[in-house]
Amino acid sequence: MDVIDAWDGRKACALQQAFRLTQEGFAEHLGVSVRTVGKWHAEPDAEPRPDMQQILDIAYGRADPTVQRRFRLLIRPPETPSLGQALRVAITVVVRGDDVLLVCRRGDASLSWQFPAGMVKPGGSPETVAVQETLAETGVHCAIRQHLGGRLHPVTGVVAEYYLAEHLMGEAANRDPQENVDVTWVPRASLTRFIPADRIYEPILSALEAA
């Protein structure tokens, strides 16, 4: 078992993901408040208090090997041979009232609804990419409200950074027809009809419920 020199919000959230627990479930597992877990998501670079460090140490040490291995993968993304570093994407969850913005992407053999996203070049700012790619794909101007966290995407294997954003102006339109089939606003209450709940990063659901 590896020893974690110091926990921060990002590592704590990665441990939550490794256990595959919601914020509420993780808080109960650790014996801490849900507010504490939410703070780790909101402040990924902040270090928890020493007593919280010990609680996280114990939780990681008692976890089964599968959880520990999943955690190590989450905090140490594998390098991409062609680039020498892990690919990164910025994913934007744009809200407008009770609606959330989605794009329908073309796949090799199917279509899938997703949040607007863009590749982050080495040295680039994920937050800037989130805003620029949303505009390029959908014609929607938005402002970042909150960083929701990051993870090694379970399907694509890239490092994904998630941002909650609010709509400023612009009507949704398909500005990238080569990659997307459609762009639309959907009611937040109907989001899981477009994207299965088990494929949505859990902090997204929590943020939309609180918005």
What are the residue ranges of helices labelled H in 1-115? 9-19, 23-30, 34-42, 50-62, 65-75
Q: Model's pTM, two decimal places?
A: 0.60
Provide the 8-state DSSP code for 155.
T
Q: pLDDT at position 107, please?
A: 67
Q: pLDDT at position 2, please?
A: 63
Q: pLDDT at position 131, please?
A: 96
For residues 35-57, give the mean pLDDT.
Answer: 91
Separation in Å, CA 62 to CA 1, 34, 41, 87: 10, 21, 23, 31
Question: How many CA atoms lie less than 13 Å away from 173 in the CB half-sphere?
Answer: 8
Q: pLDDT at position 108, please?
A: 54
Amino acid at 207: A
Pull the structure tokens for residue 45.
Answer: 């670079």
Using 50, 70 and 90 to split pLDDT, how confident is the model at 41?
Answer: confident
Q: pLDDT at position 80, please?
A: 42
Burial class of 120 by CB neighbour count within 10 A (0 to 12, 13 to 18, 19+):
buried
Distance CA 186, CA 176 (A): 19
Positive or negative: CA dihedral 92, 98, 101, 102 = positive
Distance CA 90, CA 127 (A): 7
